[in-house]
Structure 1
Amino acid sequence: DLSAALFICTANNLYDIPVALRDRMEVIRIAGYTIEEKVEIAWRYLLPKLLEENGLLEQDLQFTDEVLGYISSGYSREAGLRGFSRNVSSLMRKRARKKAEGEEGAWLVDIKMIEDVLGPQRFTSEAAEKEPEIGAVTGLAWTSTGGDLMLIEALRMPGSGRLIVTGQLGDVMRESVDAAYSYVRSRAHQLGIENKSFKEHDVHIHFPAGAIPKDGPSAGVAITLAVASVLSERPVRRDIAMTGEVTLRGRVLEIGGVKEKTLAAYRAGLRQIIMPKSNEKDLRDVPAEVRANMAFTFAQTMDEVIFLALLPAGLSHAADFGPLQESDPAVRPALPEREIAIGTHG
């Protein structure tokens, strides 16, 4: 008789659970560890445990925050610690074997040693592109392994008004693309787009990293901006990352994973983020050090996002102009007083 039994299940990816079973569960979402949290856990718990298991002393193998972070981000990109622990243990077994052969002294672990033992880096994190470009937007995504940048590309070409979408998207994200296209059509006059453009041109929206499944509504802001940019031939500021769901009326709705997405932008070198106004409360989960070095703009409508991030027509690719500065007249309108520096936000 299991009528009084409580089953507790865990999963790294909610969408891997069959729908019929998922509908019968009470889902409690717990964010994965950030790189900084993994490093701290390693110092407090993981390293002492693994040193004892491998018969080593603290002076036999010495780590730094930098190398532990490198192992976490480059070799074990995951929500938990299983792969991270396995990779650190591999380094310790190598040291234990040398110690058993009579080698004395401390090993100072560096990146070269990590690559000699673990092989080439398995995961790479590229710095974000920051120069304005037409039809290219830097979005933010939440995955089972944490936050990540999501580049969205849009291309206009002669055609018959078709909307082409590629990049292994789920149903929810495809609906976000349709909603974004409809919103831009409804704002064609304000954006300076001729109505015939929708009939005489096809629009292709692509989400790179096609082998990785993508779903969810939080890319709506970035998708809408990419469509508006390519049809109006106005470049997008690439020094800003953005996230948020968009309705047909242009309302920007709340999303999840604020902490993970903010950290992803911070690691990529971006220092400005646009997110929904209703997510302002979630900033308390972001580490204080990150909040102090970033600026956040909280938008309620897509019109506000367009005003902030879509530059005037005539500024083509940054390859022709070089990076724009805040003193540039074309950039100044995109920096209104509504932008809030978290250092003074509390």
Structure 2
Amino acid sequence: MGKKSVFEYESNMEEIHSNVLQNVLAEVSSYQKQNYTQAEVLKALRSENLSIEGLKALLSPVASEFLEELAFKARMLTKRHFGNSITLFTPLYLSNYCESKCVYCGFQKGNAIARSKLSEIEIRAEMKAIADTGLQEVLLLTGEGREHASVEYIARACKIAKEYFKVVGVEVYVMNVDEYELLHKNGCEFVTIYQETYNANKYEKIHIFGEKRVFPYRFNGQERALKAGMRGVGFGALLGIDEFEKDALATALHAYFLQKAYPHTELSLSAPRLRPILGNRKISPKDVTEARFLQVLCAYRIFLPFANIVVSTRERAEFRDKIIDIVATKISAGVSVGIGEHSGEKKGDEQFEISDHRSVDEILTMLKSSNLQAVMSDSIYVG
């Protein structure tokens, strides 16, 4: 018996009626990136409101010749809508157990790493250590799998997090609406999901088994989170898995079409590049150079001027320092991607290698020297 199709739902997975996936895949399938001209790029740069066709032009290879112009317009829009503010947060890994096998991920089932899961006492210790740095926003993460990190476990972690932080988000396995409702009831406001790649054929090859293998269930995760009352959702593709221009286009359109259906949604776009993992140090982001990476981020900003753009510690410090003055509005600080490192010794291995190891104080110093304002929280909690 062969493997199930990546479009075949498991019995426990909730299906919702949505045309967003169809719309995104239709636009991506028609994208011929080599066909765009310099004139089309210049037209897109001069437009007041960037169309989907203009976005395609700005992501095309020929647009790389206009990186300075892209950066200039992106910076102008960033300053217009966000001023000099940069929001800071940090991820907290609750568990690195995983029931899925995804070839690019250090947490994948079967990979020989040290596995661990934080107890409630350890969660509190980690959160206190993070809160003591001054951060007021935390992103909770787990591996792909409910066996060691149930929905109830994650909900309890969210409730504890609200004791220490003003803003709580999650980046965990995708859930049904009622499960997201439980997280929201316990203090979670944001859900981030990486589709990894929007090429279903490539997706099938690199997601060998597990719940994450079901392509449309993952794709519709943000919409189910919004149906559950979440304030905002985040999107991202892991650039370098497939043709990055197409994955970047799909990421932006995924956010765009979903906001048209849910106009008050707060959007966040991330654009992580492949990084080496334990058990596979040869993983690299193919042809996603820093210049082309910046091109993607600038295209995101011009197409979705109000969206947060997040750049993680996967990128080197010098690069992050440069792009926060152009396009990024949210960055991580004081990051540990292992289990239990914030409050003591690491008890579980990391998901991937990071490049920027600076502490929160070091990030704050950098922002001050760049005349940028650190924002620890964008909300006031009224109990």
Please give the TM-score of this superposition, normalised by the length of structure 1: 0.29
Structure whose CA Rg is larger: 1
TM-score by length of 2: 0.27
Structure of greater relative contact order (alpha carbons < 8 Å, 6+ residues apart): 2
